[in-house]
Amino acid sequence: MGARGPRSVRITGWGRYVPERILTNADLEKLVDTSDEWIVSRTGIRERRMAAPHETTATLAAIAGKRAIAVAGLEPDDIDLILVGTLTPDYWMPATAVLVKEAIGNTRAVAFDVMAACSGFVYAYATADAFIRSGVYRNVLVIGAELLTRFLDFSDRNTCILFGDGAGAIVVSASDEEGGGLRGMELTTDPDGAYMIWLPSGGSKSPPSHETISRGEHFVRMEGRETYRFATRTLATSALKAIERAGWKLEDVDLLIPHQANVRIIESVSKGLGLPMSKMFVNVDRYGNTSAASVGIALAEAVDSGRVKIGDKIVFVAFGAGFTSGAAAVEWTADPVNGHRADSVVPEASVRAPLDWDSVDPIPERLRALLASREGPQVPLDDVVPGEPEPVHRGAPA
Ligand SMILES: CC(C)(COP(=O)(O)OP(=O)(O)OC[C@H]1O[C@@H](n2cnc3c(N)ncnc32)[C@H](O)[C@@H]1OP(=O)(O)O)[C@@H](O)C(=O)NCCC(=O)NCCS
């Protein structure tokens, strides 16, 4: 443990992983009373990813994490602290970060989860920054990872159309160079929103039982309109606060990377801030809302697709259950070309299972039936790597 803080704290690596299987709006039309037209016009979402049975939040997190470490030019054992932002952990305990530590081959890090719902990635980034700035750690792996398709009621059209699975990661490191990295931060927590997005049972207030399950209380619930109102207001105010703390003006911002919940929310923030949509990063059409993974996936995709260059002023901003919100104003310092180093990481991760326990099939019943009814060959459970040709099966087994 060192005592002296570094000159700056910088993002040195980034990575993402999304499961291969695509769940389209047409698929959801078969499960609930909805339509592609409704989902696209109200949310901008066209498809989302769904994890395979052998995948868990920890395996998604480990692949994204290994990619971020490779991009940073580090070895797994260079990481001092692993933080996983998630609201869909593998287990109630141990923390998912513990499983990720073993899966990435790290032997020395401290590892714990950060629970701030969809703001989890930004909260974890803030935690990493504080640990490094205070001189306690030098290299922190921050991951946002979610496997939401296992916590959704696929008979509830209010929620099941919105969410998807995936993971995004960054490596945050101490630097001896002045400037760059995190310049301004704003985090908020507003308990008025405590029951606007929540998962009622499984905790101490309502332990799991046949009754809680028969009532469907183990699934995500949401008040869409209230959440929408909070989101549009808070994303803008939190982003502005972080920008102000950085000493920047709004027009200095090169790219805003918002939580990907709904394209209408992003458009309204763009309008509210007076920042054109060309400066807002959007990929919600392809992944839906991946909660704590969303900003991490979007950042990695933005850098790898050439939207970010050294010296750019970028802002991450997220909101989520709680209500929570978090914004970070970051001066980008890493060479985007390093993103290619992630190609050497195979999209597989193995998380050790307990010896004397066999879990039940994790796929929700309605999804299992839908997948079984699909025609065409079963796709290999592979990954989409940036720069690779489109998978040949894409869209085929409708
Ligand atoms: C959920 C959300 C897309 C709903 O959009 P909306 O424009 O507010 O729609 P409303 O809730 O007003 O519903 C309008 C109608 O569509 C219906 N509807 C709801 N979901 C539907 C679906 N999937 N398909 C078709 N119709 C649907 C409603 O029942 C309602 O019908 P009614 O007028 O007969 O009562 C929107 O409120 C939203 O994005 N909220 C924020 C959610 C969010 O970001 N959550 C994650 C936070 S991290």
pLDDT of residue 173: 98
Q: How far is CA 369 from CA 68, 93, 123, 297, 365, in A?
A: 36, 30, 37, 29, 6
Count of domains for the chain: 1
Give the active site residue among 25, 106, 139, 259. 259
Report yes or no: 17 and 347 within 8 Å, Cβ to Cβ: yes
pLDDT band at 359 (very low <50, low <70, confident <90, very high): confident
Domain containing residue 52: CATH number: 3.40.47.10
Ligand 1: atom nearest CA of 163 is 46
Residue 329 within any structural domain of the chain: yes
Which strand (E) or helix (H) includes residue 230?
helix 224-246
Residue 295 within any structural domain of the chain: yes
Residue 17 within any structural domain of the chain: yes
Give the active site residue among 25, 106, 118, 160. 118
The residue whose CA is least distant from atom 29 of ligand 1 is 158
Residue 177 within any structural domain of the chain: yes
Each residue of 178-231: pLDDT tens digit?
999 999 999 999 999 999 999 999 999 999 999 999 999 999 999 999 999 999
Is 60 exceeded by the pLDDT of residue 298? yes
Each residue of 264-287: pLDDT tens digit?
999 999 999 999 999 999 999 999
Query: How far is 97 from 86, CA to CA, in rounded Å?
Result: 10
Query: How far is 323 from 187, CA to CA, in rounded Å?
Result: 11
Ligand 1: atom nearest CA of 319 is 48
Find the 160 Cα to ligand 1 centroid distance in Å.
11
Query: How far is 260 from 262, CA to CA, in rounded Å?
Result: 6
Q: Which residues contact 149 (CB under 8 A, 6 or more apart)?
A: 23, 48, 50, 51, 163, 164, 165, 364, 367
pLDDT of residue 358: 83
Query: How far is 101 from 365, CA to CA, in rounded Å?
Result: 31
Query: How far is 320 from 116, CA to CA, in rounded Å?
Result: 7
Each residue of 137-192: pLDDT tens digit?
999 999 999 999 999 999 999 999 999 999 999 999 999 999 999 999 999 999 99
Residue 383 within any structural domain of the chain: no
pLDDT band at 89 (very low <50, low <70, confident <90, very high): very high
Is 80 exceeded by the pLDDT of residue 385? no
Find the 39 Cα to ligand 1 centroid distance in Å.
9
Name the least confident of 57-71, 356-370, 374-388.
374-388
Q: Letter for the amino acid at 250? A: L
pLDDT of residue 393: 38
Annotation says 160 is catalytic: no
pLDDT of residue 34: 98
Pairing of strands 81-85, 47-49: unpaired
Is 90 exceeded by the pLDDT of residue 90? yes
Q: Which two tokens stand for residue 63?
A: 């692949």
Each residue of 304-353: pLDDT tens digit?
999 999 999 999 999 999 999 999 999 999 999 999 999 999 999 999 98
pLDDT band at 116 (very low <50, low <70, confident <90, very high): very high
Residue 221 within any structural domain of the chain: yes
Each residue of 99-114: pLDDT tens digit?
999 999 999 999 999 9
Q: How far is CA 167 from CA 56, 137, 232, in A?
A: 11, 23, 24
Each residue of 6-25: pLDDT tens digit?
999 999 999 999 999 999 99
pLDDT of residue 364: 87
Of 384 and 334, which is predicted with more confidence? 334
pLDDT of residue 391: 41
Ligand 1: atom nearest CA of 259 is 48
Q: Which two tokens stand for residue 1?
A: 């443990």
Q: Which two tokens stand for residue 118?
A: 């969809």
Residue 394 within any structural domain of the chain: no
Q: How far is CA 16 from CA 169, 280, 348, in A?
A: 6, 19, 12
By the 10 Å C-beta count (0-12 exposed, 13-18 middle, 19+ buried), 68 is classed as: buried
Residues with CB under 6 A from ligand 1: 34, 38, 42-43, 118, 157-158, 161, 197, 222, 224-225, 227-228, 231, 261-262, 289, 320
Ligand 1: atom nearest CA of 43 is 3
Question: Which of 27, 28, 33, 42 is the best mutation target for the ligand 1 pocket, counting ligand atoms within 8 Å of the beta carbon and taking the most?
Answer: 42
Its pTM stands at 0.93
Is 90 exceeded by the pLDDT of residue 383? no
Radius of gyration over every alpha carbon of the chain, rounded to an integer in angstroms = 20
Find the 374 Cα to ligand 1 centroid distance in Å.
27
Of 353 and 241, which is predicted with more confidence? 241
Contacts 24+ apart (CB under 8 A), 104-109: 104/62, 104/65, 104/66, 104/69, 104/76, 104/79, 104/141, 104/349, 105/76, 105/77, 106/76, 106/77, 106/79, 106/82, 107/77, 108/77, 108/79, 108/80, 109/79, 109/80, 109/81, 109/82, 109/141
What percentage of residues in the chain have a pLDDT greater than 90? 87
pLDDT band at 394 (very low <50, low <70, confident <90, very high): very low
pLDDT band at 3 (very low <50, low <70, confident <90, very high): low
Query: How far is 164 from 175, CA to CA, in rounded Å?
Result: 35
Q: Which residues contact 234 (CB under 8 A, 6 or more apart)?
A: 188, 190, 319, 323, 325
Find the 225 Cα to ligand 1 centroid distance in Å.
7
Is 70 exceeded by the pLDDT of residue 125? yes
Residue 386 within any structural domain of the chain: no
What's the domain range around 304? 8-361
pLDDT of residue 354: 86
Annotation says 259 is catalytic: yes
pLDDT of residue 375: 60
Query: How far is 217 from 322, CA to CA, in rounded Å?
Result: 18
Find the 158 Cα to ligand 1 centroid distance in Å.
6
